[in-house]
Amino acid sequence: MKINGKFPAWKKKKRKNNDEKRVKNGTNIVSINGISRQNGGQDPNLAMLSVKKKKRLRKKKINGTAKIQMKEELMNSTVQMTNGVLTKKTNMEMKQIITASSPPKTKIQSMTPKSVNNNSTPISKKPNAAIPSKNAEPKPKNSPREDATYEKFIRPQLPIDVVEQQLMHELASQETLIVIGETGSGKSTQVPQLCVRAGIAEKGLIAVTEPRRVAAVSLASRVAVEMGTDLGGTVGYHVRFENVTSHRTKIEYMTDGIVLRKALVSPLLDKYSTVIIDEAHERSLHSDVLMCILRKCQAQRRSTDNPLRLIIMSATLQADKFQAYFDNAKVVLVSGRTFPIEIHHVNPKINKSFSATDYVYNTVICVKHVHLTEPKGHDILVFLTGSEEIEAVAHQLAELNGSLPREADFILPVPLYAALRPEKQREAFQKTPQGARKVIISTNIAETSVTIPGIRVVIDSGKVKTKRFEASNRIDVLKVHNVSKAQAKQRAGRAGRDAPGKCYRLYTREDFQKFDAENMPEILRCNLSATFLELMKLGMKNPHRLGWIDPPESQNIDAALLELTSLGAIRPINSDRSKFVLTEMGDVFCMYPLSPEHARILFQAQKEGCIMEAIKIVAAMQTDALFSGGSDSKSDAEVERVRRKFETREGDHITLLKIVLTTNDFFDQLNAKTEADARYNKSNKSLEREYNEAIRKFCNDNMINEQHLKTGSMIEDQLKQIAIEQNVKFSTCGADLLKIRKAIAVGLFLNSCEYDRQEDRYRLMINPAITVKIHPSSALSRSKPAYIVFSELMKTNDLYALQVTLIDADWVRPLITEHKKIRKNHLAETAQRIQQIAKVEPKTKKQKLIVTF
DNA sequence: GAGCACTGC
């Protein structure tokens, strides 16, 4: 998947001149398709816009205002819920609401929730008259360009301004602070700046962690504008493949995963005086792990001259958990800035045409109702669970147009989900044509990851598809669940970004009351092995005794320990078998951003002498499907024909290798041609156009997803870089594919299966009670070899093995025997430990506050 | 012969 590195010379030069100041460890790769979600450095909010609009906005960037305004909309999207209010409002009342909310008034929460009452900061209602200048940050003298460009910027008022003095005071005096503020409060952009103004940044950087790349990049650029500095100057960001910071940087926006990687190299994180964890309420795996290790880190730095300050920022009022976890830390509340939203629940007594079970049917009925009753021009956003449902509804809505009254507008259904090709995704952001109403039918991608302008009505099915890990059988189960109350609120809020909105919920109010309050934290529903490996690198010995906000189930913890032990990454300490340490191999695994199984493949490949091939395959395994056939234009037969082209008898991993090698050849030829063209004085512009056009055609002909290809290529480079740092001797096996299959078999040996002719299914070798089917998308689904390994087991309607490779049973048998031995000991010890715990600690309810590694 | 939400290093 070699796209970058061999970049035409003309492109490299151009880049270098523009980006001298930037510190980039990523790859300078041209945007293959121009617009992408995983964009390399370009503004993520611009990324979703049409090319024309983008150009327009770029032009305006000189005076800063256009971009700022747009960011303002995107960053401070305003939400207010009139939760549960069903009353219809008259036009007059609606007008009043609109005048009252535009511009939305700053409102400060005067009441404090019960849970945080005793230690929360009382917030003054008086508007703050003496707010220090927003540009108090001294401007760097050596960069006149920055001053000229951004000097005149004055940011609009935000709700957080009112508590500014209060916050400054608390920031200076508290070791840990919890800031609760709903969307639009301005906390993500202002709190880091307040830290700088409070003088906290003198001792070290301010780190701000975000769960998504887009957020880290766009917040950094916004704050850079506000502080009158270049991106990468006083304010920078660091996400995977992209480090835009410099020695001058004081505020560093990062994804939470990056901070974790940094902690692995420098466990005390002493470069940072403050770590701000944003969006803590989302409870992402990384942010939970971070809170866990930062608490420990804080304790260790407490007595030094460089103590660590923690700020936990959350959008929901359920602060009690965080407060208890951080030793009764102070809580500051800031209100959001929002437009009101009318909530309508289904009432079965009135809405007789609704089905009790079929929410897809109800969706169509509801869209029709809304379309015929709501004012023209109000676009609709529908939340459903998956691509199949979405395409079905889109189809039915398109057909509905035939039966609408003559005066009604046209319904324009627009599907939106992550697996959709980028150019199709872009349609959701295009302006609605005259005489039509856009109905965007989306998965939960539209909940947080992307923001669509112009939405006035939300239709919420109340359902979401989530993946949960079944530790007992090591299976991922993908199932439709009810959303949480917080999630339903988030969805409704999407209707109130630009103006007052409405939300139709396709479930009764009684149903809503039964929903969980919050989303289930990721740590409770995923395989913990990779996380434990990282924590053990940091010195954790017994994960059962680690202080989590929500501790994972014992069974899940044990499953991860067993997996890591079997893979040879950790071993129990002889003196105390409930404690574990990393093995030498485990120490190497940690350096790779991979699951322990995938790291094991690389380790084995090194022994077998096929590390180059292994890196290509493992990198491709990290991306989503490279093939992007299905749903649009191309027929099933066509998709099948292209797929066959790459299929190999050895299985899907070798198929991946074939695709990557084919692509490499293509890029070699394309780059050679482009460089030759450059010598004939073709303009850079036309060269770039032809280059991108050729890539697009290649991907289209081969049904390869450009975006995933690009990501895979960058991961390949990253893995190679790490391998170099680990002094790995590079080797290639050429056409001898047996070696690479062996490496794959060893890494994935826990997933090896034997064919059962009678059942016509595969039995898991580590647990013969479980039988699985090879997914029909696999190259081996028809040939049914005797022994296979797979990448992943997925439970949908049946239990399917995904990504399958043909193996020799002798490669894995010794490993399986060893695994069974370990499991037996492990189980005996687990049983013993459980007995001991039951004796010593009868039902301890209160959570320990001291971290015990 | 099925059909897979979303992130992140």
What residues contact residue A105 under an 8 Å CB cut-off, 6+ apart?
Answer: none
pLDDT band of A194, cuts 50, 70, 90: very high
Q: Which of A619, A701, A671, A670 is nearest to A1 (CA)?
A: A619
Any bridge partners for residue A504, and if so which?
Answer: A344, A459
Average pLDDT for residues A133-159, to the nearest whole number?
A: 48
The answer, yes or no, to whether residue A108 has pLDDT greater than 60, is: no
Q: Are A720 and A629 in contact (CB under 8 A)?
A: no
Query: Percent helix, strand, coil in chain A (nearest 5)?
Result: 45, 15, 40
Superfamily per CATH, domain A354-523: P-loop containing nucleotide triphosphate hydrolases (3.40.50.300)
Q: Are A43 and A221 in contact (CB under 8 A)?
A: yes
For residue A396, count CB atoms less than 10 angstroms from its CB and return exposed for 0-12, middle for 13-18, buried for 19 or more: middle
Residue A787 pLDDT > 80: yes
Helix A706-725 vs helix A684-702: angle between axes, to the nearest 10 degrees? 100
Nucleotide nearest A792 (Cα, C1'): B4
Q: Gap from A645 CA to B2 C1', in Å?
A: 20
Residue nearest to nucleotide B6 (CA to C1'): A445
A91-125: string of b/e by CB count within 10 Å (b at 16+)?
Answer: eeeeeebeeebeebebebbeebeeebeeebbebee
Please indicate whether residue A848 or residue A320 has the higher confidence score (pLDDT).
Answer: A320
Per-residue model confidence (pLDDT) at position A308: 94
- Distance from residue A636's CA to nucleotide B4's C1', rounded to whole Å: 18
Among A63-67, A263-267, A323-327, A668-672, name the one with the lowest average pLDDT.
A63-67
Beta partners for A174? none
Evaluate whether A26 touches A243 at the Cβ level (below 8 Å): yes
Q: What pLDDT score was predicted for residue A720?
A: 94
Q: How many CA atoms lie within 13 A of A431 on its CB side?
A: 7
Tell me, what's the pLDDT at A673? 87
Least confident range from A107-116, A180-189, A362-371, A402-411: namely A107-116
Q: DSSP of A41-98, one letter per residue?
A: SS-HHHHTS-HHHHHHHHHHGGGSHHHHHHHHHHHT---EEETT--PPPPHHHHHHHH
| CA–CA separation, A498 and A71 (whole Å) | 13
**Bridge-based pairing state of the strands A570-572 and A752-756:** unpaired
Q: Which nucleotide is nearest to A37 (CA to C1')?
A: B7
Residues constituting chain A: 853
% of residues, chain A, pLDDT over 70: 78
pLDDT of residue A408 exceeding 60: yes
Residue A390 or A104, more confident: A390
Please say whether the beta carbons of A592 and A530 come within 8 A: no
Interatomic CA–C1' length for residue A478 and nucleotide B4, angstroms: 8
Q: Residue A7 above 50 pLDDT?
A: no
The DSSP element (H or E) to which A794 belongs, if any, is strand A787-795
Which of A30, A39, A21, A25 shows the shortest CA–CA distance to A243?
A25
Q: Which residues pair with A580 in a beta bridge?
A: A572
Q: Provide, in whole angstroms, the distance separating residue A756's CA from nucleotide B2's C1'.
A: 21
d(CA A791, CA A769): 19
Residue pLDDT, tens place only, A86-105: 222 323 232 222 222 333 32
Per-residue pLDDT at A145 exceeds 50: no
User: Range with the lowest mean pLDDT among A324-333, A445-454, A531-540, A742-751?
Assistant: A445-454
Q: What element of type H or E holds A787? A: strand A787-795
Q: Are A340 and A500 in contact (CB under 8 A)?
A: yes
Contact (Cβ atoms closer than 8 angstroms) between residue A601 and residue A743: yes
Q: Which nucleotide is nearest to A479 (CA to C1')?
A: B5
Please, which residues bridge with residue A277 across strands? A209, A312
Of all protein residues, which has its CA closest to the C1' atom of B5?
A465
Q: What is the pLDDT of residues A212-270, one digit of tens each?
A: 998 999 999 999 999 999 999 999 999 999 999 999 999 999 999 999 999 988 899 98
The encoded tokens of residue A821 equal: 């031995």
Helix (H) or strand (E) holding A802: strand A799-806
CA distance A1 to A12: 19
* Residue A312 dihedral angles phi and psi, to the nearest 5°: -105, 120
A525-534, A571-580, A635-644, A762-771: which has the minimum mean pLDDT?
A635-644
Find which nucleotide's C1' atom is closest to A800's CA.
B2
pLDDT for A843 beyond 80: no
pLDDT above 60 (res A46): no
Structure-token match 């023209």, residue found:
A376
> What number is the average pLDDT over the span A163-185?
88
Nearest residue to B2 via alpha carbon and C1': A776
- Structure confidence at residue A85 as a pLDDT band (50, 70, 90): very low
Determine contact, residues A483/A59, Cβ cutoff 8 Å: no
pLDDT for the residue numbered A28? 31
Mean of pLDDT values over A285-293? 92
The integer distance in angstroms from the CA atom of A660 to the C1' atom of B5 is 27
A204 closest CA partner among A281, A307, A286, A128: A307
- Whether the pLDDT of residue A625 is over 80: the answer is no
- Distance, in Å, from the CA atom of A718 to the CA atom of A617, rounded to the nearest integer, reads 13
Nearest residue for B7, CA–C1': A212
| pLDDT reported for residue A161 | 83
Instruction: Check residue A731 and report its DSSP letter.
Output: -
Give the least confident one: A24-38, A194-208, A257-271, A305-319. A24-38
pLDDT confidence of residue A126: 29
- Residue A426: predicted pLDDT: 86
- Reduced to 3 states, what is the DSSP secondary structure of residue A210? strand
What are the residues facing A68 on neighbouring strands?
Answer: none
Banded model confidence at residue A741, pLDDT cuts 50, 70, 90:
very high
A581 forms bridges with which residues in the sheet? A571
Contact status, residue A762 vs residue A772, Cβ threshold 8 Å: yes
Q: Cα dist. A694→A3, A106, A649, A671 in Å?
A: 13, 52, 30, 11
Residue A261 token pair: 């990687």
Name the DSSP letter for residue A633.
Answer: S
CA of A357 to C1' of B1 (A): 28
By C1' distance from the Cα of A442, the closest nucleotide is B5
Specify whether the backbone of A729 is left (phi greater than 0), alpha (psi in -120 to 50) or beta. beta
Distance CA A623, CA A712 (A): 6
Shortest-distance nucleotide from A464 CA to C1': B5
| Over residues A412-437, mean pLDDT | 88
Name the protein residue, with chain letter, whose CA is nearest the C1' of B3. Answer: A388
Q: Quick one: pLDDT band at residue A838, thresholds 50, 70, 90?
A: low
CA–C1' distance A630–B3 (Å)? 10
- Confidence at residue A317, expressed as pLDDT on a 0 to 100 scale: 66
How far: A215 CA to B9 C1' (Å)? 16
How many Å apart are A345 CA and B8 C1'? 35
Separation between the CA of A479 and the C1’ of B9 (whole angstroms): 26
Q: What's the CA gap between A288 and A281, in Å, rounded?
A: 10
Distance, C-alpha A388 to centroid of its chain: 22
What is the spatial distance, in angstroms and rounded to an integer, between the CA atom of A776 and the C1' atom of B3? Answer: 10
What's the farthest any 2 CA atoms get from each other in chain A?
83
Mean pLDDT on A831-848:
51
Helix (H, G, I), strand (E, B) or coil at A385: coil
> Are A428 and A381 spatial neighbours (Cβ–Cβ below 8 Å)?
no
Q: Which residue has the higher pLDDT, A395 or A632?
A: A395
A623 closest-nt by C1' vs CA: B8
Give A775 CA → B1 C1' in Å.
Answer: 9
- Strand nucleotide closest to residue A212 (CA to C1'): B7
Report the DSSP pairing between strands A330-334 and A410-416. unpaired
Question: Which bases of chain B come closer than 7 Å to a protein CB?
Answer: 1-9
Higher per-residue pLDDT: A370 or A685: A370
What is the nearest nucleotide to A594, using C1' and CA?
B9
Question: What is the nearest nucleotide to A595, using C1' and CA?
Answer: B9
A67 pLDDT tier (thresholds 50, 70, 90): very low
Query: CA–CA distance from A582 to each of A535, A555, A572, A644, A727 (Å)?
Result: 10, 21, 9, 43, 20
Rounded Cα–Cα distance for residues A27 and A7 (Å): 10
The pLDDT, as a whole number, for residue A834 is 63
| HSE value, Cβ hemisphere, 13 Å, CA-based, for A50 | 10
Q: State the first-to-last Cα distance of chain A, in angstroms, to the nearest integer.
A: 41
A588 φ, ψ (degrees, to nearest 5): -70, -45
Task: Find residue A570's DSSP bridge partners.
Answer: A582
Residue A120: pLDDT band with limits 50, 70, 90: very low
| Residue ranges of chain A that CATH labels 3.40.50.300 | 108-334, 354-523
Q: pLDDT tens digits for A499-516?
A: 899 999 999 999 999 999
Question: Which residue is closest, via its CA, to the C1' of B9?
Answer: A593
Residue nearest to nucleotide B4 (CA to C1'): A478
- Evaluate whether the domain defined by A108-334 bears CATH number 3.40.50.300: yes
On the CB side of A820, CA atoms within 13 Å amount to 10
Q: How far is the CA of A73 from the C1' of B6 (A)?
A: 23
Distance CA A96, CA A221 (A): 35
**C1' of nucleotide B8: residue with nearest CA:** A257
**Which has the closest alpha carbon to A497: A559, A455, A463, A442?**
A455
Confidence (pLDDT) at A829: 74
Please check the confidence at residue A172 and state whether its pLDDT lies above 90: no
- pLDDT, position A175: 92
Mean pLDDT across chain A, nearest whole number? 78
